[in-house]
Structure 1
Amino acid sequence: MYRKCFMLLVFLLICLQAVAQQYTTHAVKEGETLYGIAKKYRVTPFNILKFNKELKKDAPLRPNTILVIPLDSKAAETTVAPSDIVKKKEAVPPQEEPVDFKVHRVRKRETLFGIARNYNITEEDIKRYNTELYSSQLDKGMRLQIPVFAEKTEADADEELDNFETYTVKPKETRWSIAHRYGITIDSMLSLNPELSKANNNLAVGQQLVLPKIPGSSVQEQKVDYYISYTVPPKKTLYSLSQEYGMSSEEIIRLNPEIMDRGGLKEGMVIRLPKKRITGPEVNAENYVFYEVKPKQTTFSLTRNLGVGYDELLELNPELALGLKAGMILKLPKERSVDLEVKNSLVLDKINLLDSLNRRHRPRLVYILPFRLDKMNFSDEELALKTLMSRNDIKYSLGLYTGALVALDSLAELGMSVDVVAYDNQLSLDKTKEILRNVNFGQVDAVFGPLDQSSLEEVAIQAANQEVPVIAPVPVNSNLSLNNVFFSYTSDEILRKRMLEFMATQVTDQNVIVIADDKNKLTKAEILKKFPGAKSLAVIEEEKNISINLESLQLLLSETQENWVFVESSNFKLISSVTSILNSVNTPDIKVRMFTTNKNRGFENPVISGSHLSNLQFTYPSAYREDTTEAFTKRYAKRFGGAPDKYAVRGFDLTMDLLLKLGYKLDLFEASRGIGTTQYSGNKFNFVKDPVSGYFNISSYILMYNNMKIEEVKPQP
C-alpha cells in the first residue's frame, strides 16, 4: 500500500509543480492502445510516455493501469461544455446607489451596529463599501466610507410607515415562528430585511425586523364602537401596553400625542385605547416546530409526511382554508415531532441525496493539504518510503486524499463531474498565502483543508469574501469567528454531552461510581449532578505512580446491582491501572462495566489491555466508527492495494458528503440548513450553525468493546 501511496506522491509532484500544463488520469481498459488513448485526449503518444515512465513504447498496455494524461490548452478547454458550467452566484436585484459618501473614523468601543444606527443605514450598507469588514473585525482608527442615500419624500415615508412595522425579536422566537405569525415566507422576510444572513437562520433577542403589518392591526382598520379610558398603573411601560393591546407603540402615541409632550408614559396618565384588542397565542420554538411548504406539495402528501390529520393541521393553521401555497410556514405542536427530524425548530424533509443528485451541477473543489513534497527525495525510493511512513502530516494527508479519490471515482460512476485542484501547503502559513494568490474563490465551491490552525484561518478569511465554505477535516480550535468554516470533527464537549444523555436513558438501578483525576474535576461534577446517587472514588497520586485503592473500591462495589464505573482521565498509567483493577474485581458475583465520556489518546496506549476492555464492555462516545463498510474497503484495496486507515475513511466520507450536498444544491450553506444527519462508511455528519462561529458537526456514535470487537450501541427505549 505504501508503494502505491509513493506513486501517488510522484503523481502529485508532477501535477502540483505544473503551472500552465493541465492533467487528467485514465484507467486503461482491456484492448486499449497507446495510440487510441492519445487520440482520445488529442495528445501525442510521446507526451503520454513522457509522463508515464513505466510504459515501454511498443509494449501492450495492462488493464487498470492508471495513466497521467497531459492536456494541451485546447483540449483542456473542451473538457467542459459551456452548458455544463453552473454559475455559483445568482443574479441579485439592483440595489439603491448612494448619492455621496462620508468618511467615519472608528472610535474606541464603537460597534458596526451603533455606527449604522447613527447614520440611519444598515450594517450591510457599510460592509458593501468597506469590504474588508466581511473578513476582519472593526478596529479603532479604521476609516470607513459611509454611503449617503437620497432622502425619501414625505409621501414615500408615510406610505412605508402605513404598510410596515418594526418588530422586536423575543426570546425563543425563530424566523419560522415570526414568518408564520405574519403570514409571510422566509424569502419575503429576507427581502424586507437584507441585513439578515442567508448563510444561517440566526436571530438575536432584541433584534428589530421590518415586517408587513398584520391586517387589522392598525387603529384605522379596527372596527370599534368607541374608545375606552385607560389609567396608566405603576411601572407600566409603553412596550408592555402595546403587547397587552396588540398595537404598536407608535399607534398608541398617535392616539395619545400627549405621551410625547409629557416625556413618555407616566403613572396616573389617562389615555384612550380601542375597546377591541387583538390577541393571539404566543408562537415560539418552545411550543411548536415549523414546516415550510414545498412547491407542488399536496395536502395529502403533506399530512402523510408530517403524520398529522388535515383537521388538526387546519386548526393550528387556519390560513390553510385558503389553499396550500409553496413557502407557507405551518406550525406543529412540539410533541408531535418525535418521529420527525428537526433542526433549528424546522422540520426537515427526508432527502435521499443520491436520488436528488443534479448531474448538471459540476462542483469545483480545492484540496489544500500538507503532502510535504518538500521533504521527499524521489530519487531514492527507499528513503522516500521511510519518510512517508515516519511523518504524520504526510500520512494524514495521503489518507484523506486517497479516500477522497475513491469518493471521486464512486461519484464519477454515478455520472457526476467534479473539477478538483490539489495543493501542497507544506504545513506552512507562508506557503498557504502563496497558494491563495493563485486561487480565484469566485470559481470555487468549497475548500477541503488545510490541517493546521493558522493556515485554515487564513484560507477561511479569504474564502469568506466570496462566501466559499471551508471544510476542516481534522480536529482544530473552533474559536474561529468565521461563518464559512465547517468543523467536521465532533468536539469533545458535544461527545461528552451525548454520552451523558445516552447514559441517562440507560441507568436504572445500577451502582454508578466515578473515578476522575484532578484534570477532570469538572467532568466528575457533571456526572455526579446527572446521577445524584453516584459515588466518587479518589485517585491516589504518588511520585512515580497514579492509581486507586483496591480496598476503597471494594467498599463501593455492589453484589446485588451492576457496577457502572466512569473513568475520566487522559493519563494512560491511571487508565491502565484502573482497567486492570476493575477487570480483577469483575466476577460472576460482582458485575462491573467501564465507561468514559472522553476516549482520548490515553485509552489508546498499547499498555492498556484490549481483553480487559472487552471483559468490562468498555463503552464510550466517538466521532467515528471503528469499522467501515465492506464496499468501501474493497474499492479502496483495489485501487491502493491495502486496507484504508481512519483518515482514508474520513477523506472518503467527507468528500462524498460534500459533493452529494453540492450536487443537490450547489450551495453548501443552504444544503446544510435543510439536510439532517447523513451517514457513510465510518462517519456521519449533521452540521448546525453556531450563532457566533461556523458550522459544527453534532453527530456521534456510542461504541462498546464486546467479545474483542467494537460495536455500535443503539439506545434502548
Structure 2
Amino acid sequence: MKNFLAIIIFVFSFCASAQNYKTHKVKSGETIESIAKRYLVTPFDIYALNPDAKADFAPNMTLIIPNSKVKNDEIVEPSKEIIDYKKHKVKRKETLYGLSKQYKVTEDEIKKANPRLYSENLRKGDRIRIPRYKTVVSKQTLSNTIKKYTVQPSEGKWRIAYKFGITVQELEDLNPNMNEVIQPGDELNVPNIANNEEKPTDTEYNFYEVQPKEGFFRLKVKLGLTQEQLEELNPGLEETGLKSGMVLKVPSDVEVASTLSEDFDKTDLRDNIKNTDTKRLALLLPFKLHLIDIDSVAEVKAMMKSDKVLSTALDFHSGVLMALDSAKELGISTDLKVFDTENRTAEVANIVDNEDFSNYDAVIGPMMTKTFDRFAAAVNSDNVPVFAPLALPTKVSRNVYQTIPEKKILSQRMVNYIKADSTKTQVVIIADQKHKEVSNNLKKEFPVATQLFSEVNKKGKDKGKDAYFIYPTTFEGVFKPGKNIVFLETDDVSFGSSIISLLNGLSTDKIEIILTTTHKSKAFESKDPDNNYHLSNLKFHYATINKEYDGENANAFVKQYTERYSVSPSKYATRGYDLTMDILLRLSAEEGFGNSDTETEYIENKFRYNKKLFGGYVNEASYIVKFDNLKIVEVD
C-alpha cells in the first residue's frame, strides 16, 4: 500500500512539474502565509490548488505550489547602511516627526536605534541616538517582488488592488504614505507580476472589498448579487471562497445596500470580555481653557451657562468618566489622556505635532466637524480608530468611525418601517414647496400614495413663493376608514403646526391617522401648548439616533450620575457614557468595530458600524419612537 501511495505522489509530482507546479511538504511552525511568501505567490493561489488546506492544514501535508507570477529579473536597487550614530538631547516640544525631518531619517529608524521609544514617549532631556546612513547600490533578485506603477485616470485603490490580485490592505501596506484618495500620476508599489498577468479592469465594472465575517448571503443583501453571479464575474472565486480583504469585481451600477431593514439581535459584549490589557484612549474636546480665568468662579460659571459648546463638552466628558468607572468594575482598566482642542484647527495641529497617536487604541473626538476633519486627516497614517462623537465629518476616511447616523439612514429606516406595516389603509404625503423632491421620492416608495402640497402666492410681491398653508377643503374625502399613514415633510413651524392641528381634528374612531416624517425638524416642536397633545393623539412616529431613558425607572447609570453630579444626565452625558463603553467593550471582547452584524445598545444609544464602499465606517443603528400618552417611547 505504501509503495502504491509513493508511486501516486511521484506521478503527481512529475505531472505538476510538467505543468509549472512544484510541491512543498509543510514543516512545523509554517503557515499558508509564510509558504506563500517563500514561493512569491499569494495564499489564494495555494488554496486554489489545495482546497483541503483550508480545514486540514498541518505539518507533513504535501501542498501543490504554482510557479510564481512575480518576475525575478535582476535589478539595480539602492540600499542604506548605517555608518554611525549622532547623539541628540531632546528639547522642549520636540517630536519624533520633527526629528525625522531634521535629520532626514524615518521615525521607525529612530525607534530602532532607541528601542525604548516603542513603549515610551519622547521626553525633554532624553538623550537619544540618531542613525547616519550611507547609500549602497547593489543588484537584487530575491527582493525584486515589487515594481512601480503609475495610477491611471479613473483608478482607485480597489481597482488597482483587484488588478494586481492583492487586498486593499496589502496595497496600503506596500505604500504607507499613499494618499487616502489617489490621483492619476501617483506612483505606487505593486507586486512585480508580468503585464499579461494583470487582471483587466474595465470601466463598466466597480470593485468591492470583502469585509470580515462576510459570506455570500450578506453580499446578496448588500450588493444584490447571488453567489453564482459573483463567481461568474470573478473567475477563481469558486475555488478560493470568500476571504476578508479580497477585492471583487461587480457591475458599475451596483450600490451597496444598507442593512437598515434587517432585525439584529443585540450583542451584550459584557459576556465576552477576553482582553483585559489596559486600553489607551485619547479624548479631544473644546474646553477652551485658554479663555478661562480660573481665579474668577463667577466668570467660569457664567461661561459654562452661556457657551453651549463648552457646556456640551463638559457634559460629554462627565459621561466618559462614568464609563471608565463602569468598565473598571468589569475588570477593564483605561489610560485616558484628555486634550483641549480650544475649538481651533491650529491647536489641533499643535496637538498632533506633540503627541504620537499611533500608540492609542482609539481616539474620541474632536467634537466639532472642522476640528475633527483636521485631526482625522493628520493621523490617517497612524491607523488609529478615530470616532466622531457628536458631528458628521465632512469625509469618512478609512480610519474614521461616524457614530451619528446620516439623515438618509434615518429616512430610509422610517420608510422601511411603514412599508412593513400590513395594517395601513393608505399613505398620504403632505409637503411644502421646498420639500417637493422629498415628496416625489416618497411617491416612488409608495406609488399609490396621495400627494398634497402647500399653496403658492398668486399675487403681490411674494407671487410664486410658498404661502405655507393648505385649504381645509383640500382634505375632504382624502382619508379612508382604517389606518391612514401621513408623511409630513416641512421645516416651517407655522405650516407644521397648522397641519398637525388640522389632522388632529380629522382623526376619529373610524378614521385613524398616524403621523410620521422622514426628518423630524423644528416644525414638530411648536410652542403651542396643544402641540404635544396633538402629536400624542396622532401617535407621531419618527426615526432618531437615540431614545430617551425612562426617568421613572432610572437605571444604575442615571442613579450614579445623579448622585455624583447632583443633576440628571443630559443626552450629551449619556452619549459620552454609551460611546465610551462601546469602544472599551469592543476592544476588550476583541469584536472589532467594523463588523456590520454586531449591534450593541446601552442607555440611549446603539451602534452597528457598516463600511462605506470607499472609506471608513458609519453607524447605521437607530430607533423608531412615537408619542404615546404625552411620552416618547421606543416602538417595539
Stretch moving more, 619-628 or 532-541:
532-541
Q: Which residue of 1 aligns with 2:574?
A: 649
- Counting only pairs closer than 5 Å after superposition, residues 93-132 of structure 1 correspond to structure 2 as 98-99=143-144, 127-128=172-173, 130-132=175-177
Q: Which residue of 1 aligns with 2:323?
A: 407
CA drift at 1:131: 2.6
Task: Describe the superposition over 1:244-270 as per-residue Cα deviations: whole angstroms up to 9, x where unpaired.
Answer: xxxxxxxxxxxxxxxxxxxxxxxxxxx
- Please tell me whether the aligned partners of residues 533 and 630 of structure 2 are also in contact (alpha carbons under 8 angstroms): yes
Q: Evaluate the alpha carbon distance shift between residue 639 and residue 552 of structure 1 in structure 2; reply closer, same or farther with a 3 A threshold.
A: same
CA distance in 2, matches of 1:145, 1:567: 51
Q: Which residue of 2 aligns with 1:510?
A: 425
Q: Which residue of 1 aligns with 2:557?
A: 632
Structure 1 counterpart SS, 2:568:
coil
Gapped regions of structure 1 (runs ≥ 5): 1-17, 21-75, 78-95, 152-156, 158-167, 191-195, 208-284, 287-337, 342-347
Match of 1:492 among 407, 416, 432: 407
CA drift at 1:472: 1.1
Q: Evaluate the alpha carbon distance shift between residue 412 and residue 618 of structure 1 in structure 2; reply closer, same or farther with a 3 A threshold.
A: same
Q: Which residue of 1 aligns with 2:248?
A: 203
CA drift at 1:519: 2.5
CA distance in 2, matches of 1:682, 1:147: 46
The letter for the 2-side match of 1:700 is S
Match of 1:137 among 157, 167, 181: 181
CA drift at 1:380: 2.0
Task: Describe the superposition over 1:433-474 as per-residue Cα deviations: whole angstroms up to 9, x where unpaired.
Answer: 111112212211111111222322232233331321111112
Q: Which residue of 2 aligns with 1:615?
A: 537
Match of 2:488 among 563, 567, 582: 567
Q: Evaluate the alpha carbon distance shift between residue 565 and residue 545 of structure 1 in structure 2; reply closer, same or farther with a 3 A threshold.
A: same
Q: Which residue of 2 aligns with 1:668?
A: 592
Q: Which residue of 1 aligns with 2:26?
A: none
Structure 1 counterpart SS, 2:518:
coil
1:362 aligns with 2:406: no
Q: Which residue of 2 aligns with 1:52?
A: none
Q: Which residue of 2 aligns with 1:441?
A: 357
Task: Describe the superposition over 1:254-290 as per-residue Cα deviations: whole angstroms up to 9, x where unpaired.
Answer: xxxxxxxxxxxxxxxxxxxxxxxxxxxxxxx99xxxx
Q: Evaluate the alpha carbon distance shift between residue 206 and residue 98 of structure 1 in structure 2; reply closer, same or farther with a 3 A threshold.
A: farther
CA drift at 1:656: 0.9
CA distance in 1, matches of 2:153, 2:448: 52
- Counting only pairs closer than 5 Å after superposition, residues 44-123 of structure 1 correspond to structure 2 as 98-99=143-144
Structure 2 counterpart SS, 1:540:
coil
Q: Evaluate the alpha carbon distance shift between residue 436 and residue 508 of structure 1 in structure 2; reply closer, same or farther with a 3 A threshold.
A: same
- Counting only pairs closer than 5 Å after superposition, residues 261-410 of structure 1 correspond to structure 2 as 352-410=268-326
Q: Evaluate the alpha carbon distance shift between residue 148 and residue 486 of structure 1 in structure 2; reply closer, same or farther with a 3 A threshold.
A: closer
CA drift at 1:174: 7.1
Structure 2 counterpart SS, 1:556:
coil
- Please tell me whether the aligned partners of residues 99 and 147 of structure 1 are also in contact (alpha carbons under 8 angstroms): no
CA distance in 2, matches of 1:121, 1:414: 40
The letter for the 1-side match of 2:368 is D
CA distance in 1, matches of 2:589, 2:523: 41
CA distance in 1, matches of 2:452, 2:566: 49
Q: Which residue of 1 aligns with 2:469?
A: 547
Structure 2 counterpart SS, 1:416:
coil
Q: Evaluate the alpha carbon distance shift between residue 173 and residue 117 of structure 1 in structure 2; reply closer, same or farther with a 3 A threshold.
A: closer
- Please tell me whether the aligned partners of residues 371 and 397 of structure 1 are also in contact (alpha carbons under 8 angstroms): yes
CA distance in 2, matches of 1:402, 1:678: 21
With the length of structure 2 as denominator, give the TM-score of the two structures. 0.63
- Please tell me whether the aligned partners of residues 156 and 181 of structure 2 are also in contact (alpha carbons under 8 angstroms): no
CA drift at 1:600: 2.2
Q: Which residue of 2 aligns with 1:532?
A: 447
- Please tell me whether the aligned partners of residues 368 and 391 of structure 2 are also in contact (alpha carbons under 8 angstroms): no
Task: Describe the superposition over 1:345-380 as per-residue Cα deviations: whole angstroms up to 9, x where unpaired.
Answer: xxx9x8541121135222111111112223333222
- Please tell me whether the aligned partners of residues 99 and 150 of structure 1 are also in contact (alpha carbons under 8 angstroms): no
Task: Describe the superposition over 1:273-308 as per-residue Cα deviations: whole angstroms up to 9, x where unpaired.
Answer: xxxxxxxxxxxx99xxxxxxxxxxxxxxxxxxxxxx
CA distance in 2, matches of 1:520, 1:492: 15
The letter for the 1-side match of 2:248 is L
- Please tell me whether the aligned partners of residues 98 and 148 of structure 1 are also in contact (alpha carbons under 8 angstroms): no
CA drift at 1:414: 1.4
- Please tell me whether the aligned partners of residues 315 and 573 of structure 2 are also in contact (alpha carbons under 8 angstroms): yes
- Please tell me whether the aligned partners of residues 276 and 331 of structure 2 are also in contact (alpha carbons under 8 angstroms): no
Query: Percent of aligned pairs with the same residue?
Result: 28
CA distance in 1, matches of 2:375, 2:606: 25
Structure 2 counterpart SS, 1:433:
helix
CA drift at 1:339: 11
Structure 2 counterpart SS, 1:639:
helix
The letter for the 2-side match of 1:138 is I
Task: Describe the superposition over 1:146-179 as per-residue Cα deviations: whole angstroms up to 9, x where unpaired.
Answer: 579699xxxxx9xxxxxxxxxx999826799879
Q: Which residue of 2 aligns with 1:519?
A: 434
Structure 2 counterpart SS, 1:396:
helix
Match of 2:612 among 690, 693, 696: 690
Q: Evaluate the alpha carbon distance shift between residue 579 and residue 351 of structure 1 in structure 2; reply closer, same or farther with a 3 A threshold.
A: closer
CA drift at 1:607: 4.1
- The root-mean-square deviation of aligned C-alpha atoms, in Å, is 4.1
Match of 1:172 among 202, 225, 229: 225
1:711 aligns with 2:627: no
Gapped regions of structure 2 (runs ≥ 5): 1-91, 95-118, 121-140, 198-206, 209-222
CA drift at 1:625: 0.4
Q: Evaluate the alpha carbon distance shift between residue 650 and residue 104 of structure 1 in structure 2; reply closer, same or farther with a 3 A threshold.
A: same
Stretch moving more, 560-569 or 587-596:
587-596
Q: Which residue of 1 aligns with 2:523?
A: 602
CA distance in 2, matches of 1:674, 1:122: 19
Q: Evaluate the alpha carbon distance shift between residue 606 and residue 362 of structure 1 in structure 2; reply closer, same or farther with a 3 A threshold.
A: farther
Q: Which residue of 1 aligns with 2:60?
A: none
Structure 2 counterpart SS, 1:547:
coil
Q: Evaluate the alpha carbon distance shift between residue 408 and residue 515 of structure 1 in structure 2; reply closer, same or farther with a 3 A threshold.
A: same
